[in-house]
Amino acid sequence: MLFDPTFIAIMVVGMVLGGITTWYIKSTFKRYSKNGLARPATGAQVAANVLRKSNLPIADSDGHVGASAFGKRPVTIARSTQGKLSDHFDPRSNTVALSEEVHDKSTVAAAAVAAHEVGHAVQTAEAYLPGRIRSALAPAFSISSSMAVWLIIGGFFLYGTNAFLGTNLMWLGVGLFAVAVLFQLVTLPVEFDASRRAMVLLRETGTLTAQELPQARKVLTAAALTYVAAALIAVMQLVYWIALARD
């Protein structure tokens, strides 16, 4: 299996796609991190502005909320401690975590990323269905993504001595891997929708000028391509694992 030309080809394609998309998002972010905003606002300020536009309350550093809470769970804006391009939204704590180059900078790239993460906060507040499905799958994904391949490989080598046990072990691994693939597929509409919301909010709040909006879209498109590539690679691997288990 490990020397199967098909398996090797899938691994090579995966590494190439992963490398290209990683390079593309980093280079695009770096490029538009050099473009300061015509209407200066840090990523944290952009996040706060688009949260207000979305009628979502903002918690201060102590977790307190202003007088107008709109009857919704408050969102915290914080610095991410995980390094560059570690921006994310945590639905458990309802926190928009922004990396230093986004939280503290007034650039097109920072504004785009900050608004995108707020898009996820809006999805949570509105109980956006794909987002709810993704959150429900998240615990299973963390387990399946780490165990699936080892079960498949273990079943493959066990097949020679115990065909029944080896086959069932492989199919168990395939099933777990399918859960991981489903998680990545569901992630696509979640990410695309967050970017769509971000562009609408950046325009409606007047955060970006007409010249800056297309630049922000390029940043968000580059980020989306990493999820597309990951999903494509995962589907290719799943098809291969299914073929292997059937043989």
Cite the active site residues: 117
- Alpha-helix runs per DSSP H in the chain: 5-32, 43-53, 100-103, 108-125, 129-158, 163-204, 213-246
Q: Distance between CA 247 and CA 244 in Å, rounded?
A: 5
Q: Name the maximum alpha-carbon separation found in the chain.
A: 69
Total domains in the fold of the chain:
1
How far CA 98 is from CA of 26, 78, 83, 167, in Å, comes to: 16, 6, 10, 45
Q: Distance between CA 234 and CA 177 in Å, rounded?
A: 9
Per the structure, the complete domain to which residue 135 belongs is given by: 5-246
Residue-level pLDDT, tens digit, the chain, 247 residues: 556 788 889 889 999 999 999 999 999 999 999 999 999 999 999 999 999 999 999 986 555 554 444 557 899 999 987 888 899 999 999 999 999 999 999 999 999 999 999 999 999 999 999 999 999 998 888 888 789 989 988 988 888 888 889 889 999 999 999 999 999 999 999 999 999 999 999 999 999 999 999 999 999 999 999 999 999 999 999 999 898 888 7
Q: What is the pLDDT of residue 71?
A: 56
pTM value is: 0.88
The answer to whether the CB of 181 falls within 8 A of the CB of 235 is: yes
Q: What is the pLDDT of residue 196?
A: 97
Q: Distance between CA 80 and CA 96 in Å, rounded?
A: 9
Which residues fall within 8 angstroms of residue 50, CB to CB, at 6 or more apart?
114, 115, 118, 198, 201, 202, 205, 207
